[in-house]
Amino acid sequence: MNNTSAPTLEQIQNFEGKYPPQLWSLFFTEMWERFCFYGMRGVLAIFMVNMLGLTDVESNLKYGAIQAFVYAFTFIGGIFADKVLGFKRSLFFGGIVMILGNLLIAFSPKEMFYFGITLSIIGTGFFKPNISSMVGDLYKDGDSRRDAGFGLFYAGINIGAFLGGALCVYLGKYYSWSYAFLAAAIVMIIGVGTFLFTQKSLGPIGDSPLQHLSASARLRKEALVYLFSILSIPLIYTMIRNTDYTDYFMYTIGPLAIIYFLYEWSKTASKPAKNKLIAAFVFIVFSIIFWAFFEQSGGSLSLFAEKNLNYNLLGMNIDPNVVNNTSNAFFVILFSPLLGLVWIWLADKKIEPNTVIKFGLGFLFLAAAFYVFYATRFFADEKGITSLNVFTLAYLIITFGELCLSPIGLSIITKLSPKKMGGMMMGMWFLASAYGQYVAGLLGAGMSSPDADASLPQKLMLYTDGYKQLAIYALIAGILLIVISPLIRKLMHEVK
């Protein structure tokens, strides 16, 4: 991580054109990481049923727990990056741990599964929040091109997610589970390699926060972080083996995170910085609601797709679960860069909506999408089978909601957080995703029929009733955000 001939921060941030060139390095690194992550995630539930002999219910519970842990660990990864490692080293360490995790499972899928997943959780925790923070560092405060940059970065995320989900599931189902996890490991090696080769272009961005210490003192502190990571292995391992612990974990980590946030907040000297942190916190809380609804895609919507949809998408014969699993990433790839350019265009005309309004729009799209999921009931035949076209339209709409909230959320967190808390705040943003996943499971379970013999028309009515409820709550959240937007805008000071 030396800086010879590396650009200065000034040079990086004074880029011309729409995107800073360094964004591509982070784009590809994150694309490979998400390939690995979504590849692993895509095979998880099926693998646990087929290889580990879990029932569907156990597999679903474990899947939810693993997702929650992955995103919860980003909070810890973010803090360690701020305090000790810096983003670059964090990324490198996290990447190596993810590679090890996937290799372990590849070599011995049955025996090493939980151990490998534990490493994936720790690795992702160190990797995921910190790469997003580095994207934010490419921009000067007040640069209106930042949201567009995150939009492009978000497209990279989804290209990785799309390819990883497709390739690993294909390899796992038709060849061997070892190949699926091996592919995830190889792709992650490419990701870490991409980062190593291009990191010099990031200049001082992501360097250690302990530059002022001697090399040996710094190393000692870093060693403690690595030691902590090793010590946390048995803990995480135990918690994913027994999902009863997930509830306790979720009840604990959130309050602890809030206490830690308040502690850091109270140490923040300037009033505007304090206000900005409160605004960031409000965005984080709303994002929990968003993800709790949005993540029905992995749960109730995939069951709905399996049972209640026909196979006709615009005249093509296609499995509705394939549509359920891929259409969102597909639409993100298609529309994310485009929407980014719309933001830049609106900013040029001085009519770009501010972030609170964008968040509000995100919820309005979410509401519209769930209304369309509800409306599928009006297209059903007497057997309870309904239109895949209408279902896909809902995915198109929900994707616009995601694009108004998720990349914009990453961006606003980097705008509102003081430099020394950047990693932790990004970790909190993803911790909200952990809660979103967790609540999504509870909501989905609440919507499914307790009666295993329920007929398809009954299931259709139950699920779509649930979606109507979600549409109403999303609408309320959206309106609430827009109504309180002047208040939040005040807390944000000059940040838009």
Q: Where are the alpha helices (DSSP H) in 242-299?
A: 244-267, 271-294
Q: Which two tokens stand for residue 199?
A: 């990191």
Our CB check for ligand GLN shows the closer of 157 and 301 to be: 157
Q: Which is nearer to ligand GLN, 296 or 406 (CB)?
A: 406
| Rg (the chain; Cα; Å) | 22
Cα separation of 177 and 170, whole Å? 10
- C-alpha–C-alpha distance, residues 302 and 296, integer Å: 8
Site for ligand GLN in 26-45 (CB under 6 A): 34
Provide the phi-psi class of 206: left if phi over 0, else alpha when psi is between -120 and 50, else beta: left
7/160 with CB nearer ligand GLN: 160
Reported as type and span, the H/E element at residue 393 is: helix 388-416
Residue 327 binding ligand GLN, by CB under 6 A: no
225/416 with CB nearer ligand GLN: 416
List 296's β-bridge partners, or say none: none
Q: How far is the CB of 406 from ligand GLN (least distance, A)?
A: 5
348-387 footprint of ligand GLN as x/- string (CB under 6 A): ----------------------------------------
Closest CA to 80 of 424, 459, 461, 361: 424
Query: Site size for ligand GLN, by CB under 6 A?
Result: 6
- Least distance between ligand GLN and beta carbon 270 (Å): 29
Contact call for residue 406 and ligand GLN (CB under 6 A) = yes
Confirm or reject binding of residue 291 to ligand GLN (CB under 6 A): yes
User: Closer to ligand GLN at the Cβ: 129 or 320?
Assistant: 129
User: How many C-beta atoms surround the C-beta of residue 288 within 10 A?
Assistant: 18
Q: 471 in helix, strand or coil?
A: helix
Site membership for ligand GLN, residue 426 (CB under 6 A): no
Q: How far apart are alpha carbons 203 and 187 in whole angstroms?
A: 25
Residue nearest to ligand GLN (CB): 433
> DSSP assignment, residue 52?
T
Residue 153 in the binding site for ligand GLN (CB under 6 A): no
User: In whole angstroms, how close is the CB of 15 to ligand GLN at the nearest point?
Assistant: 24
**Dihedral sign, CA of 254, 255, 256, 262?**
positive
- Is residue 417 near ligand GLN by the rule CB under 6 A? no
* Minimum CB–partner distance for residue 66 and ligand GLN (Å): 14
> Closest approach of Cβ 132 to ligand GLN, in Å?
8
Distance CA 466, CA 444 (A): 9
Distance in Å, CB of 328 to ligand GLN, minimum: 8
Measured distance CA(96)–CA(101) in Å, rounded: 9
Using CB under 6 A, pick the residue from 134, 138, 148, 157 that binds ligand GLN: 157
Cα separation, 139 vs 422, whole angstroms: 14
Nearest distance, CB of residue 430 and ligand GLN, angstroms = 6
**Cβ pair 116, 44 in contact under 8 A:** no
- Residues near ligand GLN, by CB under 6 A: 34, 157, 291, 406, 430, 433
